[in-house]
A and B are shown apart, each in its own frame.
Chain A
Amino acid sequence: MTRFIIIRILQAFVALIGITIIVFFLVRASGDPMQLLANPNMTEEQYNAIKTRLGLDKSWGEQLLIYFNDVLHGDLGESLVRQKPITTMIKESLPNTLKLTVPSFIISMLIAFFLGITAATYRDTFWDQGVKFLAVLGQALPGFWVAIMAVLIFSVNLGWLPVAGMATPAHYILPVATMVFFMLPGMMRLVRSSMLDVLDTEYIKLARIKGLPERIVIWKHALRNAMITPLTTIGMLIPGLVLGAVITETIFNWPGMGVMIVQGTFQRDFPLVQAITMLTAVLVLSINILVDIAYAWVDPSIRYQRS
């Protein structure tokens, strides 16, 4: 098991270096970042001073090495536009993003498990059809549009909820609901299909034959096993989570990482976009490792086969 974990971590580290190199050259592919910063009124000296300060006067190879060194020391560089260290900017905006994503994630998980299991248990009934209908809608309607329609109905027409910002608890309702809309359908489908598989197994039939109450069969015996498949695919939820957070923050003017990176993109603030992409890569790789370890822990055959 230790060997398995070490191999996984080493692999992830190699992948991270690969991603860093790709990202580094991709950002510079369009040409000299100085073209974005220079303005016609600059003197030659000012131009060169900025170039030296940002390290752009060195060769690409040197820049890459310096970048690696800085990242290893926890320095993600400085924003071109706001002239602030990126780590400071992240410290300011990350808590806001977490305030939005964590409750939404928990709420979606709870609803997904409840509805997914109910749908699987009462297969082909009214409940199941309802859940399927929700999933079809959720996977077809664009989240940003649903959020805007919600603003139109609840904020503009009815005046019940605030349009944007994050001052009071009421400000959380629409953004959290939007995030839930982004995450729920996929999760719900997964739980339902995984639960259907489990309900079809011999040990569930045995539990029923033993005369256990249906409540215990479903929520104890079946649920535990039905949770494995959704947990292993949790990595695939990350893209939706990031997209949901960026769009929700943009719509509701929520001062988090999403708004920060969108602004960074428009202002062509390449160190900022690069730093956030790298951080996300670390997050993605760590979650993949954790999932692998959890899976290997649950299912010993994986451990031997893969290492």
Chain B
Amino acid sequence: MVSIIPNVKEKTRKQYTGVSRGTRIMKNLTLILPVMVLTLMVICAIFANLSWLGLPQYGLAPHDPNKTAPRDKFLPPAFIEGGKSDYLLGTDKLGRDILSRVIHGARVSLSVSLLAIFITAGVGTMLGIFSGYVGGRVDGFLMRIVDVALSFPGLLLAMLLAVAVGPGFWTVVFALSVLGWAFYARLVRGESLRIRQSDFVAQARVNGASPFRIMLRHIFPNVVNSLIVLMTLQVGMMILSEAALSYIGIGITAPQASWGSMVSDGRAELDRAWWISTFPGVAIGLVVMSGNFLGDWIRDKLDPRLRQV
């Protein structure tokens, strides 16, 4: 008897999923590599030295990032003629070890961007849920503020803050947060507006739930996915912004190591020491790219509707 059931075994995976093997490997690589880079960055940030255990002399960084060594200044990376194996990525004009400073820079970048992301996400989510749920004039008013916040250059506010209170860690965090909440508010407001119409919200209202309870227990859990996606996608943006502020000189200031200010230090020495600017920039690029890829992946898993964000 001839079977009318098609021979399943002979169908390749491609025919079922429409994805070729090459694409699948690429997809996996665009997840594995970013996760590795970001893990490495977190490890660097935490274990750059063990100052939080009271042991600043131990850690991943081979040298103290701020220790100057006048005799070892402008040393090229170890893999180039003239470099010392002690200084793997070379030294700057004060003889500080570039590798150690890059490792310590991870700490600054990570803490600034995580803080700013949690602040902006918190504020933006609250305002967004409220705006979408209440609707009407309040919503219209809040959304106009969001429009302005999204098109106002954060750089100018950062400069204003730098003039008023001086540059520094908290100035950067505040400058990044003061406008950043608007992204979350707009996204969450849209979701909240949609969820408000759903049956379970109507039912909660019939049951006598207060507006606060509805927003917290019924709307919030339904925006969490979009929220996580946006937060991940923002990691890269925050790191880039911090680097840009520090590059201009209104962010993290000397002697603390920050990737942006390191690139800026190397600008004047380009003709004799290209490595000072190059390596911190590579670090920024790798981390931001990893953040963006991871964000894309999480988005495709959790909330593919957000492709446009």
Q: Which residues of A contact B (CB under 8 A)?
A: 11, 15, 23, 26-30, 136-137, 139-146, 148-149, 151-152, 156, 193, 235-236, 238-239, 241-243, 246-247, 250-251, 261-262, 264-266, 268-270, 273-274, 276-277, 280-281, 284-285, 287-288, 306
Contact B236 A144 (CB under 8 A): no
Contact A142 B159 (CB under 8 A): no
| 4 closest Cβ pairs, A-B complex | A145-B281, A235-B151, A140-B289, A242-B153
Contact B160 A27 (CB under 8 A): yes
Contact B292 A136 (CB under 8 A): yes
B 30-72 binary contact with A (CB < 8 Å = 1; else 0) = 0000000000000000000000000000000000000000000
With beta carbons under 8 angstroms apart, the residue of A236, A241, A265 that contacts B163 is A265
Residues in B neighbouring A15, C-beta threshold 8 A: 144-145, 148
Q: Which residues of B contact A (CB under 8 A)?
A: 140, 144-145, 147-148, 150-157, 159-166, 236, 240, 243-244, 247-250, 260, 263-264, 266-267, 270-271, 274, 277-278, 280-281, 284-285, 288-289, 292, 307-308
Q: Output the least CB separation between A117 and chain B (Å).
A: 17
Contact A140 B236 (CB under 8 A): yes
Q: Closest A-chain residue to B290, C-beta based?
A: A140
Residues in B neighbouring A251, C-beta threshold 8 A: 267
Residues in B neighbouring A269, C-beta threshold 8 A: 163
Per DSSP, chain B at the interface is helix
Contact A238 B152 (CB under 8 A): yes
CA distance A269 to B162 in the complex (A): 11
With beta carbons under 8 angstroms apart, the residue of A142, A241, A274, A306 that contacts B244 is A142
Contact A149 B281 (CB under 8 A): yes
Given known pairs A239-B154, A270-B163, the reply for A142 and B240 (CB within 8 Å) is yes
Contact B159 A273 (CB under 8 A): yes
With beta carbons under 8 angstroms apart, the residue of B165, B244, B307 that contacts A29 is B165
With beta carbons under 8 angstroms apart, the residue of B147, B160, B289 that contacts A288 is B147
Residues in A neighbouring B153, C-beta threshold 8 A: 238-239, 241-243, 280, 284
Q: Output the least CB separation between B26 and chain A (Å).
A: 11
CA distance A146 to B248 in the complex (A): 15
Task: Provide 29 A-B residue pairs closer than 8 Å at the C-beta atoms, listed in order of the A residue.
Answer: A15-B145, A26-B164, A29-B164, A136-B292, A140-B236, A141-B284, A141-B288, A142-B285, A148-B281, A152-B270, A152-B274, A235-B147, A239-B154, A242-B155, A261-B156, A262-B248, A265-B159, A265-B162, A265-B250, A270-B163, A270-B164, A273-B160, A277-B156, A280-B152, A280-B156, A281-B152, A284-B153, A287-B151, A288-B151
Residues in A neighbouring B155, C-beta threshold 8 A: 239, 242-243, 246
Given known pairs A15-B144, A142-B260, A145-B285, the reply for A26 and B160 (CB within 8 Å) is yes
Contact A235 B150 (CB under 8 A): yes
CA distance A246 to B165 in the complex (A): 21
Contact B289 A136 (CB under 8 A): yes
CA distance A130 to B12 in the complex (A): 29
Q: Closest A-chain residue to B158, C-beta based?
A: A265
Residues in A neighbouring B236, C-beta threshold 8 A: 139-140
With beta carbons under 8 angstroms apart, the residue of A23, A139, A241, A242 that contacts B160 is A23
CA distance A247 to B308 in the complex (A): 28
Residues in A neighbouring B284, C-beta threshold 8 A: 141-142, 145
CA distance A144 to B278 in the complex (A): 11
Q: Closest B-chain residue to A23, C-beta based?
A: B160
Given known pairs A11-B144, A27-B164, A265-B162, the reply for A144 and B244 (CB within 8 Å) is yes
CA distance A130 to B280 in the complex (A): 26
Residues in B neighbouring A270, C-beta threshold 8 A: 163-164
